[in-house]
Amino acid sequence: MTRSAMDGFRATAHELRSLQAQRLMRLLFLMMALLLLVPVLGILGVLVVEGAPGMTWEFFSQKPSKLGAAGGIYPALVGTVWLTAVALMVALPLGVAAAVYLSEYARDNWLTRIINMAIVNLAGVPSIVHALFGVGAFVHFMNFGESILAASCTLAVMTLPVVIVSTREAMQAVPKAFREACWSMGATRWQTIWSIVLPNSVSGILTGLILVVSRAVGETAPIMFTGAVFLRLVPPESVFDRTMALSFHLYTVSTQVTGVPRHVPFAVALTLILVVLTMNALAIWFRMRLRGRKKW
């Protein structure tokens, strides 16, 4: 091949320059992405290093002493389980019902638009505003008093959008043909939903459930005036008891109590993070499994 024919395939100086620019920008953007991730991972590393020595068996099984400066977090752990479980019992049925309505019944009309708007706003309202709502609605108006029930209801209202969105997404992914096949066999709408749509969107519901748990475990503001207490050494016995909670305990030991050894807040923070991240990792895994299995 002659030299002049080869030249047609060689990059011009201009092309080379823009190629270089592209490599540079790619690197730059990677660096910025890492700039977001690396410090946070570093901070998590600090939490692990500082908190791990405090995480002994006694830490999880004993009551706190010296206002939380010593001893363990057992009552707070149990309290968080209570709060989360009750919140789930409220948020899950309500959220799944709303998702069923939006995915299976709602037409594209003004009501649906308002519902969607309400979901977005419910998710966007600051947690302290949810707390004020909880105080006004559940503690005083419904007369639950400061209790697990009031705190959990507040958490449930706050996490409702999470359940709705993840369930609705899974339900909408079920192909229309499945429903039509069921209808054509004479099934009612509800029979179709119950026997075809819901079983096929279980993973979406589970994802919602896990994300609610993760939110409910981590939130502090909504529970601090509706049912969480600073110290209560016995675990709660009914939903009308007040309770300690992991997140609120972390807040108090790091701001309200003096003379707390450095490793204590770190150990509590690490416990919280481990619970929350495990939950979220599980949710992600469920979602990926769903995506992988779905062959329709």
Q: Which of residues 55-114 bind other proteins (CB under 8 A)?
A: 93-102, 104-106, 111, 114
Shortest distance in whole angstroms from residue 81 CB to other proteins: 16
Task: Give, in order, the Cα–Cα distances in Å from 87 to each of 132, 193, 195.
Answer: 17, 25, 27
Judged by CB under 8 A, which of 73, 162, 193, 197 binds other proteins?
193
CB 250 within 8 A of CB 217: no
Sign of the dihedral through C-alpha 198, 199, 203, 207: positive
Residue whose CB is less far from other proteins, 130 or 242: 130
Q: For residues 22-51, which are near other proteins according to CB under 8 A? A: 22, 25-26, 28-30, 32-33, 35-37, 39-40, 43, 46-47, 50
Residue whose CB is less far from other proteins, 2 or 104: 104
Shortest distance in whole angstroms from residue 138 CB to other proteins: 9
Residue whose CB is less far from other proteins, 136 or 175: 136
Shortest distance in whole angstroms from residue 226 CB to other proteins: 10
Residue 129 in contact with other proteins, rule: CB under 8 A: yes
From 57-65, 81-89, 199-207, 266-274, span contacting other proteins (CB under 8 A): 266-274
Q: What angle do CA 138, 141, 145 make, to 5 degrees?
A: 55
Residue 137 in contact with other proteins, rule: CB under 8 A: yes
**d(C-alpha 146, C-alpha 274), whole Å:** 28
- Measured in residues, the chain has a length of 296
DSSP single-letter state for residue 142: S
Which helix (DSSP H) or strand (DSSP E) does residue 65 occupy? strand 64-65
Judged by CB under 8 A, which of 71, 145, 218, 235 binds other proteins?
218
Q: What is the DSSP string of 191-219?
A: HHIIIIIHHHTHHHHHHHHHHHHHHHHH-
Residue 188 in contact with other proteins, rule: CB under 8 A: yes
Residue 195 in contact with other proteins, rule: CB under 8 A: no
CB 83 within 8 A of CB 245: yes
Residue 224 in contact with other proteins, rule: CB under 8 A: yes
